[in-house]
């Protein structure tokens, strides 16, 4: 099929890296691996970060006009060159889809969403307009691919039938991480030489953008938790940068002699950094599921994370890492201490993590799931 792909929060071609952009690009790759042609539909962003009703109203007006213009543009093409399906990634109250439902109805094609979330508490809040638009878009969907099991309870009541919600596990191309894990010793030696690290001291790793809000809150909790385990030897690698860099440095200030700041790292260099480390840490405050958890485990790292949202979908607590109540720095510290004291346990968990990511969270697995669901949809009439 010819798929028109749209991401209302952040377009796949956006210049700033983020987990949202990464997942959009991965979905495009999976759709193409499944045999579908994919073209970006529009770069219009409906994202409203602050709950500004006037901004949401303006975005809705611009979005509705864009939907009409895009529909006309598609109808002006020969029928064989028009999209057969519209695919929107990440619909929620802060980034509703003003385009897809209209274009799909006009062209008479299926409307599909991946990663939809519905928060009833927002119905009368500052994002009320975005909430209503997102609800209408989810209700119109012929299929919703659910990337987090935590979203299912609120999304299902909006769908015409439960069969329209198709679970799909968060995924990456695990091959680069598997290759890096196989060359772990070389990468570790390079890291040790570059930063003067003791090869006998465990290396902890955190990878996240430095933004205000949930990311900064997670960095702060990480600082509090690691302050509780200063009696044990370890070094912390921090990968990331952003507008909250100063606040993050303050949050990790008590750990300063043990912290190695790597800054923003090219995506191609990340597998080696994961493979060089011993344990991945992220408190996961406000995370939907956390792509870095998938990456770290694919490189054979056990993880310690906060139990929230879809994080348990990607981290098997007790098998590939430890999950603790989100926001509990004492429990987080205890889990880190346990794994610092158990090198054999870390290695076992890391091996299980790599196997699990290759089996359940690889791009090829997602491509098959997408392909199977869309092939069934092609035999049905759109809603």
CA–CA separation, 293 vs 159, rounded Å? 30
Half-sphere exposure of 90 (CA within 13 A, CB side): 22
> How confident is the model over 30-58, as pLDDT tens digits?
999 999 999 999 999 999 999 999 999 99
DSSP state of 201: S
CA–CA separation, 70 vs 53, rounded Å? 25
* Chain mean pLDDT for the chain: 96
> How confident is the model over 111-144, as pLDDT tens digits?
999 999 999 999 999 999 999 999 999 999 999 9
> How confident is the model over 8-32, as pLDDT tens digits?
999 999 998 888 999 999 999 999 9
**Residue 188: per-residue pLDDT:** 96
- DSSP secondary structure letters along 215-274: HHHHHHHHHHHHHTTTTS--EEEEE--STTHHHHHHHTGGGGGGEEEEES--GGGHHHHH
What number is the average pLDDT over the span 286-305? 96
Give the pLDDT band (50/70/90) at residue 197: very high
Residue 179 and residue 254 in contact, taking contact as beta carbons nearer than 8 Å: no
**Predicted confidence (pLDDT) at residue 98 exceeds the cutoff of 90:** yes
Where b means 16+ CB within 10 Å and e means fewer, 73-92 reads ebeeeeeeebbbbbbbbbbb
**Predicted confidence (pLDDT) at residue 349 exceeds the cutoff of 50:** yes
Residue 382 and residue 49 in contact, taking contact as beta carbons nearer than 8 Å: no
CA–CA separation, 124 vs 116, rounded Å? 19
Give the pLDDT band (50/70/90) at residue 359: very high
What number is the average pLDDT over the span 75-98? 97
SS3 18: coil
What number is the average pLDDT over the span 296-322? 97
Residues of each domain in the chain carrying CATH 3.40.50.2000: 2-171+362-377, 175-360
SS3 209: coil
- 376 Cβ neighbours under 8 A, 6+ residues apart: none
What number is the average pLDDT over the span 311-316? 97
Residue 282 token pair: 């992220």
Which of the following CATH numbers is that of domain 175-360: 3.90.180.10, 3.40.50.2000, 3.40.640.10, 3.40.50.720?
Answer: 3.40.50.2000
What number is the average pLDDT over the span 250-266? 96
Is the domain 2-171+362-377 a CATH 3.30.870.10 member? no
**Residue 379: per-residue pLDDT:** 52
pTM for the full model?
A: 0.93
**Residue 381: per-residue pLDDT:** 44
What number is the average pLDDT over the span 349-361? 98
**Residue 18: per-residue pLDDT:** 86
């Amino acid at each position: 099929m010819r798929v028109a792909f749209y991401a209302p929060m952040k377009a796949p071609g956006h210049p700033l890296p983020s987990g949202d952009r990464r997942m959009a690009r991965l979905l495009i790759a999976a759709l193409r691996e499944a045999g579908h042609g994919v073209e970006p539909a529009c770069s219009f962003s409906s994202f409203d970060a602050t709950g500004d009703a006037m901004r949401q109203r303006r975005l809705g007006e611009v979005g509705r006009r864009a939907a009409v213009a895009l529909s006309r543009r598609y109808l002006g093409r020969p029928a064989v060159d028009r999209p057969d399906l519209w695919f929107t990634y990440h619909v929620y109250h802060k980034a509703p889809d003003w385009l897809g439902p209209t274009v799909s109805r006009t062209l008479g094609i299926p409307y599909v969403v991946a990663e939809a979330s519905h928060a009833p508490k927002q119905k009368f809040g500052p994002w009320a307009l975005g909430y209503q638009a997102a609800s209408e878009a989810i209700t119109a969907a012929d299929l919703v691919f659910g990337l987090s099991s935590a979203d299912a309870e609120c999304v299902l009541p909006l769908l015409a039938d439960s069969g329209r919600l198709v679970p799909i596990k968060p995924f990456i191309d695990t091959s680069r991480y598997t290759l890096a894990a196989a060359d772990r010793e070389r990468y570790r030696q390079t890291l040790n030489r570059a930063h003067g690290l003791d090869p006998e001291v465990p290396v902890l790793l955190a990878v996240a953008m430095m933004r205000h809000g949930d990311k900064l809150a997670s960095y702060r909790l990480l600082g509090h938790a690691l302050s509780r385990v200063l009696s044990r030897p370890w070094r912390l690698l921090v990968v990331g940068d952003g507008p909250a860099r100063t606040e993050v440095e303050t949050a990790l200030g008590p750990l300063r002699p043990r912290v190695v700041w790597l800054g923003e790292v090219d995506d191609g260099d990340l597998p080696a950094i994961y493979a060089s480390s011993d344990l991945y840490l992220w408190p996961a405050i406000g995370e939907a599921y956390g792509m870095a958890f998938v990456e770290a485990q694919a490189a054979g790292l056990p993880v310690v994370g906060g139990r929230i949202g879809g994080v348990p979908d990607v981290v098997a607590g007790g098998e590939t890492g430890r999950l603790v109540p989100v926001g509990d720095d004492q429990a987080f510290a205890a889990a880190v201490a346990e794994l610092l004291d158990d090198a054999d346990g870390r290695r076992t968990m890391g091996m299980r993590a790599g196997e699990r990511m290759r089996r359940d969270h690889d791009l090829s697995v997602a491509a098959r799931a997408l392909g199977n669901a869309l092939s069934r949809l092609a035999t049905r009439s759109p809603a």
